[in-house]
Structure 1
Amino acid sequence: MSASNEVPQAPTTAAFFLQAAIAFAVSLATAVVGILYLPIDPWQRGFLAITMLFLTSSTFTLAKVVRDRQEQTSVRARIDGARMDKLIAEHDPFKNVA
């Protein structure tokens, strides 16, 4: 069975979701604090802040695209599997034998 035909996994647990949300919040907060306390000029601090904002939004977009592609593949795999099951169920191996 190839990777595109795998059965989708069960949804994530609430604990895993909470752990991921906390990890994101902590990493974003520490990056903001780090930028605020760097001994640099305000324009450099602003550049780093805009870069971090762009990186964060790009990460969300990439995660959504990857998830959407995985869901599309798994739905297509289920449809292909259902078509194959229908063909097998309708096939009569003794129909042309006589």
Structure 2
Amino acid sequence: MSKESQNQNHSSAWVFQVWASFLVSISATAIGIIYLPVDAWTKGFMGMGLAFTVGSTISLTKTTRDIYESKKIVSRLDEARIEKLLSEHNS
């Protein structure tokens, strides 16, 4: 199995759409917070909440991806062991 067939390749249009939607959503939320008719402390609190939400979302997606990748590696190792055992048994 080649390394290219194991990786999931995304089109440049998909990558652009993901980044654009991320930037638009963060910008729109930040602009909404800036123009809220509340005092600076409330805006600061909401901005801090936005920053922590984005950071924790990135951490969650990375952790989820890492768990998925580690399961794939373990699965491939188990598959290789089984193939080795079968080839030794058939010899």
Question: TM-score if structure 2 supplies the norm length?
Answer: 0.87
Rg comparison, structure with higher value:
1
1:37-75 deviation per Cα after TM superposition (whole angstroms, max 9, x unaligned) = 111111000000000000011111111101111110001
Q: What is the Cα-based RMSD across aligned positions, in Å?
A: 1.7
Query: Identity over the aligned pairs, expressed in percent?
Result: 34
Query: 2: CA distance between counterparts of 1:41 and 1:68?
Result: 41
* Equivalenced residues, count: 87
Structure 2 residues not aligned, in runs of 5+: none
Structure having the larger proportion of residues in helix? 2
Query: Where do 5+ consecutive residues of structure 1 fail to align?
Result: 1-6
Q: Which has the higher contact order (CA 8 A, sep 6+)?
A: 1
Please name the residue that 1:88 is paired with.
86
